[in-house]
Structure 1
Amino acid sequence: MEIEDRLPGMIESFLFIVGDEGLTVKQLISLTECKESEVAEAIDVLRISYEQRKASGITLKQFGGALRLVTKTEFAEDIKRLLENPSPKSMTQASLEVLAIIAYRQPVTRVEIDDLRGVKSEGPVNTLIAKGLIMEKGRSEGSGRAILYGTTDLFLDRFGLESLDGLPPLSQEEEGETIETDLFMTQFQEAFAIENDGGGNLS
């Protein structure tokens, strides 16, 4: 398959991976190693394709110079119901994983969370924001100025902490760069088993 035929799909894949942080045209040119005119044409192909596909819930938009895959406005009320009415009993395993990572690694970008989990975390991040357990804590210094996430005062209240210093310390192995998500989870769940087992509602 020629690069021209693959380019729209390549760009779509890149935008899907980076999520709400998006990519600029300049970054896409560098990543695809294609000319600006070729990238611009591929972006138009994607945009037209999304708009013409009525069954698609996403489209391509540009915000602050960055291209992002976003949900279509006609589904705004449906998405609002999802975010306002998460699981009534407890958080999902994915949300708890993301919360544990943010609690120990904050401030942290979503891409860093994705790298630790090995899967995209946009859904759990949005759910935790809706629950009031995490919030934006500024922007990173690197390229793209990615959003940094951290826990809120509500998080401290729900887990009975006076401050983040009350989080159980991680072992030296857990603090290393090769840390696995299940190490976060084990520490997090063991530390707060009483709160979760004792009727604490995190929904």
Structure 2
Amino acid sequence: MTDDVTDETTADLAGAEEIPLAERIEAILFIVDEPIGLVALAAAVGSPVPAVRQTLEMLVEDYDGEGKGPRRGFELREVGGGWRLYVREDLDDVVAAFIGGQAPARLSQAALETLAVIAYKQPVTRSQVASIRAVNVDSVVRTLLARGLITELFADSETGAINYGTTDALLQHLGINSLDELPPISPLLDDGADGFDEGTIR
């Protein structure tokens, strides 16, 4: 049975190689939460690094409207040695207004849990939050950003990953003056430490 599964996987990969390289690269870029390195991207799409690099440069020009089509609302950027799709900066207000308009009056349970992780763990990246919660938190983080409850603190110099933290608006909503007034985390978790470094537990 294992041989059958291996044969099917090999066949799937062979079939994928028939799909244009640009489409395969776009599929991977569409789902990554953090910038993906050139070598890792090449491995993911099963193509040589030079070919992937050339295709990335072509996509950058295409999205910027330097080819035959119009400029897109998103762009492809290399940040910290990795590649990722980003909404164009001049469209941030449009996206924020949309997310804000879609957000319910009360935060969902998923948003509250993600906000709690960021509050206690900050500065923290989306991938770290996702690892702690064991779910994808991309859309939830966008919602919290649009609500003004969290903010981008800085980008990691090596990976390009954005680190997030809470804002003064959250303190106002909670009616506290600083994060030091948050309750100890231990009573809120089964073992008091799941997903957190020992040094951050209060």
Q: Which category describes the TM-score, using the shorter chain as reference length? A: 0.5 to 0.7
Q: 2:161 aligns with which of 138, 146, 154?
A: 146
Q: Deviations over 1:88-116 (max 9, x none)?
A: 42112222121111011111001111222
Cα contact 1:17–1:120 (8 A) shared by 2: no
TM-score (normalizing by structure 1):
0.63
Report how far residue 130 of structure 1 moved.
Answer: 1.7
Q: TM-score under structure 2 normalisation?
A: 0.63
What are structure 2's unaligned runs of at least 5 residues?
A: 1-13, 198-202
Partner Cα distance (1:138, 1:71) in 2: 17
Could you list the runs of 5+ residues in structure 1 that have no partner in the other structure?
180-203
Residue matched to 1:175:
193
The equivalent position to 2:124 in structure 1, one of 87, 92, 108, is 108
Aligned-residue offset at 1:161? 1.7
Q: Give the corresponding residue for 1:28.
A: 41
- 1:73-92 CA distances to partner (integer Å, 9 max, x unpaired)? 9x877634313324342112
Superposition deviation, residue 178 in structure 1: 7.8
Is 1:37 matched with 2:40?
no
Higher RCO, 1 vs 2 (CA within 8 Å, ≥6 residues apart) = 1
Secondary structure, counterpart of 1:91 in structure 2 = coil
Let me know the Cα RMSD of the aligned residues: 3.8
**Does residue 135 of structure 1 match 2:151?**
yes
**Larger C-alpha radius of gyration, 1 or 2?**
2
| TM alignment of 1:118-129, pairs within 5 A | 118-129=134-145
Q: For the structure 1 residues 104 and 34, does the alpha-carbon distance in structure 2 shift closer, same or farther, using more than 3 Å as the test?
A: same
What letter is aligned with 2:173? Answer: R
Go from structure 1 to structure 2 and tell me whether the alpha carbon gap of 1:44 and 1:148 turns closer, same or farther (over 3 Å shift).
Answer: closer
User: Sequence identity, in percent?
Assistant: 33
